[in-house]
Structure 1
């Protein structure tokens, strides 16, 4: 790479390693693509390393971007594809011969482990972004742990300069739930500890990282998202409409939303629930539940909607229902907040755009409590003053976490890491873990989520039913 003039910033090559880049739409997919867009806009280059998979790819063909797509297989029961190590040797040699300036790994998976391996062989700085609550995901997807453990064993064999003959001796053990979960978290701990820096999209996730890897160097950098194009709302009934937008999968607790909404309909037969997402490719059991709910009335299943058209669905809703406790930030919450929607939530830790009492009602993770929260929000929205203030509060909070704000921070991190400069880590995330010791070249910066005061809902609002 030619040397840059003193007055011009150096053009960097940032390698983004991700195991989640289609075929399904997901928050991780969009987070990586938003970041790619901003890196390219800043004049740097992007090398994307991902499994072979069809999916939305708005940056294909950009002159400063190239891809390495690795052979992959579909994982039963999940709308994802996983690379199992084919071509890793060749691609490793390719990247060692022409190394990127910074290696950015997005979560745990075989390609994420390949990114660690490249960083180790090239001596380039390693940044890991932890997008996923793996303790929660391990409970739902423990059966994929043997695949990830095999990929980690692959890396260990290469570290020892072992041969493919030795690799062929690897055998996937029949997965057992408890052992698979523990093994998955052991791999996660190794990755987080080895990274030069770990970024997380929320303080909630930073705490989880420190539970898994107490000596990890963590910085909170929320993912940014901007408002979707405003569109006329899709047709709706005369009653209140609750809405969910996102992946339709087990860990999103869609079954809990359906059970709670059935109780809501007992009191508000005119209520609607729109569940927007690809429900046809979810698990068979959940798919049957959704079909039964739609036949019973009140539940609308429009399927996967192109992102540029989602604004019409957000505009049609009165409140956004989110029952997942596995999300680390949930970009759909930010999209809903940009659209001015208030929230009915089960997760009490996601607070970037959620201000309980001002624009949200919180529930416990059971159907009765969630139904009570839904009814409480419906009653509160009957007050025009509360409706207006809740909408304004959602928009105000969403405006803090834009793509531009996130990208400025991430590009600064890339440039500092590439130049060998000190990179700040977040302190005050989890004081219960006690004093944390880091290499002396690290500097610290406090993480302040700036949680505002939480006024109560209007007195006319219905209190949630008992948990």
Structure 2
């Protein structure tokens, strides 16, 4: 089987979508698939750059920075090039991971060549508009996304909740493609006491951790509210923010006592996760939220909303704590409740979070993706 995957983001870029796509591509390659990945040029990279170590071919196109996400590029609509390549050597199926100009051009090329097309719904871009004072564009963005996906043969969402929600909004042929977690990379054994010492946590204090983009759409101000509420009860705790983004400078001015660890990758990221104790994630714009399962795999007590990865894997009071979706006051209260647990219950909850994560296999996710793609090939 030969797959042509088209995406605006791909490793080594750091975000949940690129990480997921990288895992899927390597998993399919291990299963004998031939792959061609089409993506925009990344920062500090030449357009004709080729990653020789990859087990698949890459077609790199020119791109421009996405507004508000300068580290990510929107690919040029290289439809003519894709049509020419695919006409000479047709893939069995095309998979479109993002809905930008590059993805739409690929969709048109595939349709002209009568190649089946699958898509994934990775990011609620229409919901981001509410966080950037442009809510008036949300209806148009929602209609655009629905139109693009309905021209595909199927749309795969990361949770059943999301797939059902998309179907209710008029998306056709929806299915589920979950996400796994690397429990070898993200594990409690990566805990680093020297790193914790550098955070200068007073005796009896716990490290409250957030990992992700420091941006409005991640509801970062609610995370800080919850931390302040915890701090009022437990003044020895410290907040550690891991990641970068446009809100960083403002937060540093407003919360100078917080530890800003910046962007971290790989083993260094795993070390930061595992060196924490409690994880706060208040975003309401996720399709999944990889950081939730990564935190659970690292043995952290997670407080998040009852949706996406939280709804799929967190049992409130057992391996984490869930707040009612969108209820900010409840999020703060649940974070405080999690922090109030005595040491014995708190440590058991962390162990149970790790046990849950151990059952979330990337192998099963890749196998599911493979089945969905093959179902489209007549």
Partner-residue secondary structure (3-state), 1:351: helix
Match of residue 291, structure 2, among 324, 329, 332: 332
Query: Does the CA-based 8 Å contact 1:133-1:205 persist in structure 2?
Result: no
Residue 407, structure 1, aligned to residue 366, structure 2:
yes
Distance 1:192 1:232, change over 3 A: same
Match of 2:252 in 1: 291
Alignment of 1:145-164 (within 5 A): none
Partner of 1:124: 115
**Does structure 2 conserve the Cα–Cα contact (< 8 Å) formed by 1:246 and 1:277?**
yes
Alpha-carbon separation, structure 2, partners of 1:337 and 1:274 = 17
1:251-330 matches, within 5 Å, as 251-278=217-244, 282-283=245-246, 286-295=247-256, 297=257, 299-330=258-289
In 2, distance between residues paired with 1:211 and 1:55? 42
Deviations 1:255-311 (Å, cap 9, x if unpaired)? 221233223323322111111112xxx22xx2233212442x2x1111111222222
> Cα distance, 1:104 vs. partner?
0.7
Pairing 1:241–2:207 present: yes
64, 68, 84: which is aligned to 2:59?
Answer: 68
Once the two structures are overlaid, the 10-residue window that deviates more, 105-114 or 361-370, is: 361-370
Q: TM-score, normalised by structure 1?
A: 0.72
Is 1:222 aligned to 2:178, yes or no?
yes
2:158 alignment counterpart:
201
Aligned to 1:9: none
The answer to whether the 8 Å contact 2:314/2:321 transfers is no
Provide, for residues 188-218 of structure 1, a one-character-per-residue CA deviation record: whole Å limited to 9, x for no partner.
111222221211111222133213324x111
Aligned to 1:38: 27
Q: How far apart in 2 are the matches of 1:255 and 1:396?
A: 30
Distance 1:400 1:219 in 2: 21
* Stretches of structure 2 lacking an aligned partner (at least 5 in a row): none
Is the Cα contact below 8 Å between 2:207 and 2:240 reproduced in 1? yes
* Contact kept in structure 2, 1:105 and 1:129, CA below 8 Å: yes
Query: Separation in 2 of the partners of 1:300 and 1:64?
Result: 39
Larger Rg: 1
Corresponding position of 2:167 = 210
Aligned residue number for residue 462 of structure 1: none
- Distance in 2 of aligned mates of 1:64 and 1:368: 48
Partner of 1:443: none
CA RMSD in angstroms, aligned pairs only: 2.4
Distance 1:417 1:254 in 2: 40
TM-score, length basis structure 2: 0.88
1:461 paired residue number: none
Partners of 1:207 and 1:140 lie apart in 2 by 24
SS of corresponding position for 1:310 = helix
Aligned pair in 2 of structure 1 residues 247, 397: CA closer, same or farther (>3 Å)? same
- Structure 1 residue 327 displacement after superposition: 0.8
Q: CA deviation at 1:135?
A: 3.7
Distance 1:358 1:82, change over 3 A: same
Matched, 1:99 2:65: no
Mapped pair 1:352 → 2:308: no
Could you tell me whether the CA contact under 8 Å between 1:260 and 1:371 is conserved in 2?
A: yes
> Which of 119, 123, 147 is the aligned partner of 1:190?
147
Report how far residue 390 of structure 1 moved.
Answer: 1.3
Counterpart Cα distance in 2 of 1:28 and 1:206: 17
Give the direction of change, closer, same or farther, for the CA distance of 1:24–1:41 in structure 2 (3 Å limit).
closer
Query: Which residue in 1 is equivalent to 2:340?
Result: 379
Q: 8 Å contact 1:204–1:328 — kept in the other structure?
A: no
* Structure 1: gaps of 5 or more residues: 1-11, 144-176, 421-467
The change in CA–CA distance for 1:375 and 1:142 in structure 2 (over 3 A counts) is closer
